[in-house]
Each structure stands twice: as structure tokens, then as C-alpha cells.
Chain A
């Protein structure tokens, strides 16, 4: 057992003894320290080199080592990682005191004397709060610029799901988080279908009415669950707003079953009008843009673009399709496959070959995640470059978009509105993952060991950003094909 353990124990014992007043004080100090640490962290972020070449090199415990002499530092270096983390947490909890504890402990190991309790007080108030900084710093794998987009980690297991979640919604959540259902329209439709089932399974509890209870107490948890599986899309948001409005407007006199049936019927109508028929209308009108001899360039996969192309093919137009695709979802593969099945001539190119693809293309067809109020297009990340290249070569860029995807938001860049997907998706599935030796000590030979991208969590100053969407400026877009329907009052607000 290494020496620091008694110190921990002592610290624990200490913690139990403290009075509430002291706890309060401690919490205050901790808060201060955290604030200062954040400030420090931001400064360091600006200066990339700074933290990498930090003098002590130990990424975990520089808080204590700064104060300690060489001997303690040595001890810390020897500690296994787990213990260190535990230590770090404890420090966070205890604020300044933790560091002090180790310091006093160090004294004791030197001379076997009792720690001096008097010393704690003055140092507690007067300590420079900088020492707190490394513990949170170590685990920060979020890109600062996009920190507003990070939500809780995506749910991957059934653990901890509220038991009110309807099975259909549950299944849908997992299908969305694993990208079995992907794409704005698909998710919207699947959600509405699942809600249909959930609504049918709903019974209003006594003492309340369906219109008041259904949304807030029944649908909201379902929506929250879906959000925790994957942030909801603009189309889903629009559909939810529409549905909520519908529920509120239910005549309280209608019987419960009638109300539920009515809701389901309205949902069916919504799906038919806003997605099915709309898609058909868009495809019919968009396929007129495809002429004999056209070379249609598209990026990733959009259901409506697929439909347009297939429609044009059915009309016996002779044309060629180039599908550009990129990691990590490779949606273009599915598009290329289904077009191939339909008997079209398809060329599948990686993202790096955009300029080559644009050279041949005569028309660019794009789908949308959402259409922003300032005319910009939010779509799968990478779309903007394709559009830019095409616009530079004077190739018409045509966007097909259902009105359910219209958003009231405005964004000039891809930073404000976006979705951050788990960074692991960008890693290549490593065959060596299991063969990789378990690392206990990263602090010692961190520099020595060659690391792969798979170890990104252990590499200081490496962050991986996996964005889902980007925003294409309106000037690159020649035309947006959308159905001419009246917009619902609440839509896109």
C-alpha cells in the first residue's frame, strides 16, 4: 500500500467531522476555485502549447505537486490511475483542503510528527485557487467552441429509462440512436407513428382531462427520452409543436376514445399531407429539372432526392448519377445501392473527389435537414462544400425540402445550431482494441508510447468533433423546390 492512502483516510475522517458552517465555507471556496479554474482553462485553450508543455507534465495531480516537494511528487507518479482519479474527485469535493491534507501528510512522512491543525485555516482562505484547475481539465474532451451543443452522452442502453416510456417509443429511441432510422423525414414519420401507438395506449387519470394531461405528463417524458437517444430534428420539433397544439385544442366534451382516435387520424393525415404527398409533389416537380444527358450530383442520402431520381428514371429520362459520400454514416452507399437496383447508372465517389465530381456534373440535387429563415440550408455535414464547389462552377444547386422542415431560426454559420454526435463514430473500428495493453500509468510514459486515434481520450489536447450538420449559404443555392401549401399557423416559429 503506498503512502498516500492514510492521507486519504484521514481526509475522509476529517470530512466527517466538519461542521455545517465549515462545509459551507468549503463549498464557497470550491466554487471560487472552479471559476478561477475555468478562467485559467480558457486562457490555456487560447494558447494551445501551454498546457502540453506544463512544467510538471503530470496531467492529473499538478494541483498537489505544485505545493509538494519532490518526494510527494514521486509518490503521486507511482499511484495507479484509478486511485488518482478518486483522489481528484476528492479534491474537488474538499476544495482547498485536499491539497493541504497531502501537504501535511508529506510533513508527517518526513518526520513522523502529527499534522499541525492550526495551519489549515489560514491556508484555506488564502490559497491561490489555480490549484484546482487540472482535475476537470483532464477530462475535457469537448470542443470549447461547440460546448453549447454537447448534451448528455447519447443513451445506449435501457438502464435508467423511465418506466412510463411506451414500448414503441422505446424501440424507436434505440433505432434512432443506432441510426437504423436516420434522416429528418424518416425520424419525423417514425416518431409520429410511435406516438400514435403511445396515444392509443394512454388513459387519462381521474381528475384531469386529456387535453391538460396528455402533453405534459405523458408525451413529454416520451419526447425527453427520444431527445436523450438523439437530439430531435427540426421536422420532429415542428411535428411535436403541431401535435401539442392539436391536443390543447381538443374539445373537452369529446370522449377519451374519440379524442384519441381523432388524434391518430389527424396524425395519419399529417403524415400523408406533409410527407407522403408532399414528397410526391416535390419529386414530380424536381424531376423536370433532370433532362436527357444530365449528370446529377448528390451528396449522402436524402429520401426525397432518391425519389426524384427514381421518378425521373421512371419517366425514361436518360441520365447519370454521381453520389458523393463521406464518413461516418456513408449514407450515400445506401442511395447508390438502391439506385443501382433500380437500374440507373451510378458513380460513387468519396468526399475527397468533390472537384472531380463537380467537373462532370450538370445539376446538384440536395436534401435538407432544415431550411432556415434566412434562406440558408442546414443539411448533412459536407453539403456546404459540395454546394460551394458547384456554385463556383456555375452548376445549378437545387434543394428539395418539405415544408415541415422549415425552421423559424436563423443561423449564419454551423456553430450555433448543430448536433454533436459521439466522437467514437469517427474512429475506425480497430481490430487491435482488445490486443491493446491495459494502461495503468499514463503519466509516466505518455510521451514514449505511440498512440493511435483510439486512445484519444488519453491524449492531452486532442479533441474529436463529430458534427452532424452544416449550413450552406443561400447564395450557393439556385433553387429550392418545396410544395406550395399554406403553412400551419404555429409552424416554423
Chain B
């Protein structure tokens, strides 16, 4: 393996295995199947960040999860073939007070997490699917860090952070209208001395000055009666602010060590993305905000604390001053030239040297018409479906499967699977004349005769009865979609009138037809169901379904 010999970037990784609120059809029982184990293209979701990190050369990985999900996660790490094939052995950390609803910012403050972070770290969500090599992002982070900054030597200059943003719109087959997006304002960073070499991500790296989810933006706009109010100081500091509405935070952050203390100090940080990044970005230009957030203590205090050595400390050499491609600013001890006479200038000159906030950079993947490497978060069911299908179709080299149709799968006569855009897992049985297009079928599924599947995602162990037609559906683990009579009679434990109906299912019109549905794990979809755009799960939907399908049934219950 070529990447087995990568130099270690001295980073540790935290993979946040959250609850998956938008995937609640499948993750309603987190102690059984946490979100991190939902299959994306027949691999557990957490495989993708693990693989990505491994290919980046990061092997010190901790999975952080609420206690109730720790069990299944650990057992999956030990047994799942895709996860065991990875050469990383991540640790699972389940902080006691971590609930499914805990915000990511609060998570960083938990004592267990605080104890676990030992150096610069990278935070990755468990639903992160990425075709862009992490090394390339990492390289930019390393290159653009303030020169000769380091954590260990108590340098005055601190490393900055790096986030990844991806375009949500304009990707054929993947983008949907409902895609969540963030509001992001950036300013360009200094151009490189020479054009960056081909293949470098440098073009896409900018400095973040504002960052908030679209919801917050909408609130603010409402507050401002239709206007987004920005501070003057932003315009004073930065001339060219670019604002983006169609990008989303990938949730991947390269953080220097001091962020740990920064997160710990600020009790009000609820999420990393909105609060920690947002305030950090603002502190870069907003006068005095850094002090309020305790950044001075975080950035300078530590250095003072850990070594009280050489009197030349303040005399320390700054490579930026020497580098011939950098503009050196008058050093802080020297009083800068008096500013223009101004009536609204800062009233009291700051008592001590101005605080320099390390830059918060972001790699913003440019949106292009043509196909760009995929960066996505899989946190909604449509995303789950489209990403799985996309991966099944394109099979990017870093995420490719060994075989699209697993050798252990059995296809009966005249069963047709379109090779180029399907994935079929282990021990799948495909019945006579079944037809599968653009679908992903998980391990141990049984597909009956005459089944037609188009753009479907079947998780492990699903049973699809004869003659079922499904398109655009996501079927949860071990769910059963009953088909025509064979299956119907087999599981007929229902009222008499239903049994009487069963033979009628032979009719073409009475086939089970599901379009754009989500079927919850272990749920049984009755024969003859026709549904479109529904969530078939648990109690409530069942009732609703009965209501729709069989009026007399309801009457009887009443």
C-alpha cells in the first residue's frame, strides 16, 4: 500500500459519532444501530472517515459516542469485515455525560474528551464521505500555518485552523433542493509567490471571517427586518469579503492544540461549527472580541506557564520577518505610525500589545459544472441514498469495492443486475427474472421473483417478496417488503378478510409498489401496499397506513 509509509502528521483524530437526527427512520434505536454503522454503499458509515484518515496518515483515532452506542460500535469494529480490513484500530470513547443531544462544542468540554486530546487534532464527523485526499488538505494546512509555529516549543506564534466546505448545489444526481447549507463569508489569503502547482488545493483556501448555518442567518435577517447587519469593523479590516450561501461545512476541522483550551473556557459554545468556528472567525477582525473569549490567556498564558526560561524569549526570531516573500509588519513593541486623525477611532489605546488571532482557514471546494471529487456529509435519507448510488456508480479509486457484485451472491435465472451502477453484497439471493438497476443491496438480502428495483438502497438482511416494485426507496435492516401471494400467505397472520384478499394480489395492479419511501428496520410492509414518499415505520405510520388502505379495518377497531 502506498500510503502505508506516510509520515505521521502528528495529529490525532476525533470522530464524532452522533445520533443522526435526520436519519431517524433508521436510527431510532441507537443502542442497536447507531448512525455511524448505517451502511453507505454497503460499508458502515464510519468506515469512510476512518479510511480517509488512514489515507492521510493519521492512525491515532478516537471514536466519541454516547455510552449506549458504544457497545454496537465496538462490536462492529471487531467484526465488520469492512472495518476489520482497515489497518487502523480506533479507540472508542464513551463519555459518561454524553447524550445523544449533546452539542459538539459541549462535547469538546467533557472531561473525558479534554483528557484525550494531547496535541493538534482533527475533528471528523462520522458521516463524512470524501474523495479528496486528506493529505492534500493537510498539506495546505501545514504550508499556510504561520511560519515556524509549533505547539511544543512555546512559540509566540500559534497555529491556525482549517475547515472544509463543499458546494451543495449543482452536482448532478447528488444535490437535492433540501440540502442544508451554511452561510460563509471569507476573505482571500495572500497569494502564493508563484502559481501553485497543478493539483494543489491552494486556490481554494481562504480565510473565514463569518460562519453560521442558514437558519441562524435567516433569524438574523428577520431580526434586521430583511437586512443582514454586519459590523463596520469587518469592512474596515477586510476589503474583499466574499459571501457564500451554497456551501456547507463538512464538519472536518484541523485544529491546533490551543483550541482544546479555547473550547474549555467558553461555556456557551454549543456547537463547533456555529459557535467555536463562528466566534473564532469573528475574533479575527472584531476589536476586543478575542479578549472576551479569553483567547489571550489561551494563546499566551500557556506559553508563559510552561516555560519560564531564556530571557531572550521576547527576542525570539521570527522567520516571517526574514522571509523574502513575506511582508514584515512593524514589530509590536514599536509604536505603529499614528493613524489619521479620526473622531471615531478607538478611544483608549489598548494597554498591551494587540492580540493576534491565528487565522481560521477553510478549503472551499470550488463548485464546477463538471464532476468534482466528492465531499459530502451523509446526514439525511436522500443523501444516504444518493451518495450510496453515486459511490456504486463511480467507484472512485480510494473508495472502490473489490467487486461490485460479491462473488457469494446468487443470481437465479434471468435475474438482471446492471453491473455499472449497482452494488450487491454478500450472500444476496436474487430471484427469477428480478431486475435491479442503480441500486445498492446489502448483505444477506433476499430478493424474490419478478422484483424490480430502481434507485433503491437495501440495508442488510432485507427480504423483498415476489413481484415488488420499488424505486427510490431506502429499506432498513431486516425489513420485509411482502410481495404477491407466496409471501403473503406465508406470513398471513392477519384478519380473515385480508387472507381473502391475498389471491387478488396476483393481479398486476395489486403488486406492492413503493416509490421514494423509507422503510424502518424490522418493519414489515404488507403485500399490496402502494405508497409514495412515505416513511414506513413503527406505530404511527402503521396506523396511518391502515387508515389509508383499509377503511373497514379501522371501523372494526373502533
Contacts and interface: CB of A to CB of B under 8 A. Distances in A.
B22 interface: no
B224 interface: no
Contacts of A181: 147, 319, 323, 325
A334 B197 contact: no
Contacts of A271: 317
A424 interface: yes
B192 interface: yes
Contacts of A272: 312, 315, 317
B487 to A, nearest CB: 50
Interface stretch (B133-141, B166-174, B286-294, B410-418): B133-141
A174 B322 contact: no
A88 B136 CA distance: 32
Interface in B158-215: 192-197, 199-200, 202
Q: Which of A163, A167, A330 has the most CB of B within 10 A?
A: A167
Given A174-B143, A178-B192, A427-B195, A183 B310 contact: no
B75 interface: no
Contacts of B199: 156-157
Contacts of A328: 193-194
Interface size class for chain B? 35 or more
Interface string A153-168: 0001111111111111
Contacts of B197: 156, 422, 424
A331 interface: yes
Given A180-B147, A185-B322, A329 B9 contact: no
Contacts of A183: 322-325
B317 A180 contact: no
Given A163-B7, A193-B319, A338-B327, 18 more contacts: A157-B136, A158-B135, A160-B2, A160-B5, A167-B8, A174-B142, A178-B194, A179-B192, A182-B324, A186-B322, A186-B324, A197-B150, A275-B322, A334-B325, A334-B328, A338-B329, A341-B329, A425-B195
A194 B6 CA distance: 19
B153 interface: yes
A180 B329 contact: no
Contacts of B195: 424-425, 427, 429
A50 to B, nearest CB: 33
Contacts of A171: 142-143, 145
Interface in B297-347: 310, 312, 315, 317, 319, 321-330, 337
B30 interface: no
Contacts of A334: 324-328
25 contacts: A156-B200, A157-B199, A163-B8, A163-B57, A165-B7, A167-B10, A171-B145, A174-B139, A178-B192, A180-B323, A183-B324, A186-B323, A189-B317, A190-B319, A193-B317, A268-B312, A275-B317, A276-B315, A301-B324, A302-B324, A329-B325, A334-B325, A337-B327, A341-B337, A343-B337
B148 interface: yes
Contact of B325 (A164, A182, A200): A182
B335 to A, nearest CB: 12
A179 B325 CA distance: 7
A302 B57 CA distance: 37
A452 to B, nearest CB: 15
A303 interface: yes
Contacts of A165: 7
Q: Which of B8, B136, B315 has the most CB of A within 10 A?
A: B8
A181 B57 CA distance: 25
Given A162-B7, A180-B147, A303 B321 contact: yes
Interface string A391-432: 000000000000000000000000000000010110101000
Contact of A180 (B10, B143, B150): B143
A168 B202 CA distance: 20
A178 B231 CA distance: 35
A490 B43 CA distance: 60
Nearest to B153: A197
B479 to A, nearest CB: 43
Contact of B143 (A178, A182, A190, A194): A178
A300 interface: yes
B193 A182 contact: yes
B152 A330 contact: no
A281 interface: no
